[in-house]
Amino acid sequence: MDDDGPRLRVLGPAQPAAGGAAAAAPGRAAGRLPTAEDLQNLRLFRATAKAAGGILELVMPMRVGDGPSLFCAHTLVGLSWCYLALLPHAGAGYSLYGLQARGLRRPEPLPASMADMARDYADQIRITQPSGPYHLLGWSLGGNIAFAIAEELERRGQEIGLLVILDAGLADLGAIALDNEPWMAYNLVLAQFGYVPALTAAEPDPEARMLELVRRQPRRGLAEWPDPRLHALQRVIKNNVAVARGQQPGRVHCPLLFFSATRNPPTLAEKLESWRQFVDGPIEAVELDCDHRYMLLPEPIARLGPALSDRMARAAAASTAGARAAGRCR
């Protein structure tokens, strides 16, 4: 494997990829036996890693279609592979891209703040799509990143057609944490690639234990990663936590589509009230009967995908109508 990692095969409009992933490590890391959903999640992680083919580029093309593009901001681990689960359910004409963290392809400086990260990702988005309107999506910590990108693009005078948030929040950024416990971080990495997150607080050397688990299962996603790249993944995760805690959100002027995991507090009304201090555009909400960690499992995503496609279609139609009206006024 070279420093840039392997290449993802770009998927055509009618060619979905399998997979999906949650943002948190399930099962033993939480001091409980894995549930059926935990195990289903691990299977989806494995499928996602296989479908992604190990791509580490900053912009990951998941599907290139003829319609509007949706840019998906990575979760805590810095990878956007989980969003491959959207492909069978989102409108086939839409292009989907994943934004991924620096520092994984090669050693390089990491962003010092959320504003720095947003500027970098806004640059990458505009290389891919030079003009708006832009459609952004983020799950969990990715929602915080997507919001920051929306702020940056609006600051540059660009239009945000739609901001899609999958059960993220901006009101209590100090609560974003990995508890500064290395074994938790290593469990998160294991789960991201479909390994059972088997580490506990009693591990005397959690890093060595993680590497042992990875090397004992050569057919899994991390088996081909050299040790320096695994260490880089830990560095990226810790940096993502740090920049998220220091985020100073302002206000965006765009439509928001909010997906709420109903099995996690607070209530939908409280979540939306929190978002209204940061968004002055119209807000729509869809409730999914699931835990936050399982939003991309088959049952919730079967509802999420069509709702997302419908709202993207309306955003595109509104943009087209606005452009025509502007043309008539010239």
Q: Which amino acid is at 163?
A: L
| Residue whose tokens read 């469990």 | 187
For residue 258, CA distances in Å to 14, 99, 237, 267, 268 come to 26, 20, 25, 13, 10
Question: What stretch of H or E contains 61?
Answer: strand 59-63
| Residue whose tokens read 């929306």 | 150
Average the pLDDT over 40-58 and give the result.
85
Grouping H, G, I as helix, E, B as strand and the rest as coil, residue 259 is strand
- What is the sign of the dihedral through the CA atoms of 190, 192, 197 and 199? positive
- 266-283 pLDDT tens trace: 999 999 999 999 999 999
In a domain, 309, yes or no: yes
pLDDT at 250: 96
In a domain, 327, yes or no: no
pLDDT at 191: 83
- 200-245 pLDDT tens trace: 989 999 888 988 888 888 777 787 788 888 889 889 988 998 999 9
In a domain, 58, yes or no: yes
Distance CA 103, CA 239 (A): 10
For 65, residues 6+ apart whose C-beta sits below 8 A from its C-beta are 12, 13, 92, 93, 94, 95
Cis peptide before 206 (omega within 30 of 0): no
> Which pairs with CB-CB distance under 8 Å and at least 24 residues apart come from 122-126?
122/149, 122/152, 122/153, 122/156, 124/58, 124/59, 124/99, 125/59, 125/71, 125/97, 125/99, 125/149, 125/153, 126/158
What is the share, in percent, of the chain residues with pLDDT greater than 70? Answer: 85
Q: What is the dihedral of CA 71, 75, 80, 86, to 10 degrees?
A: -70
Residue predicted with more confidence, 35 or 322: 35
In a domain, 239, yes or no: yes
Q: What share of the chain is helix, strand, coil (3-state, %, to 5)?
A: 45, 15, 45
In a domain, 182, yes or no: yes
Q: How many folded domains does the chain comprise?
A: 1
In a domain, 326, yes or no: no
For 51, residues 6+ apart whose C-beta sits below 8 A from its C-beta are 17, 18, 19, 81, 84
61 DSSP β-pair partners: 97
Of residues 65, 81, 48, 87, the one with CA closest to residue 12: 65
Contact predicate 329/117, CB 8 Å: no
According to DSSP H, which parts of the chain are helical?
Answer: 36-52, 114-128, 141-155, 182-192, 206-215, 227-245, 268-276, 298-329
Q: Which two tokens stand for residue 89?
A: 């359910």
pLDDT at 31: 53
This prediction has a pTM of 0.86
Distance CA 126, CA 8 (A): 21
In a domain, 178, yes or no: yes
**CATH number, domain at 302?**
3.40.50.1820
Domain range for 199: 27-321
In a domain, 2, yes or no: no
Would the pLDDT of 251 be above 90? yes
pLDDT at 92: 86
| Residue whose tokens read 């409980």 | 32
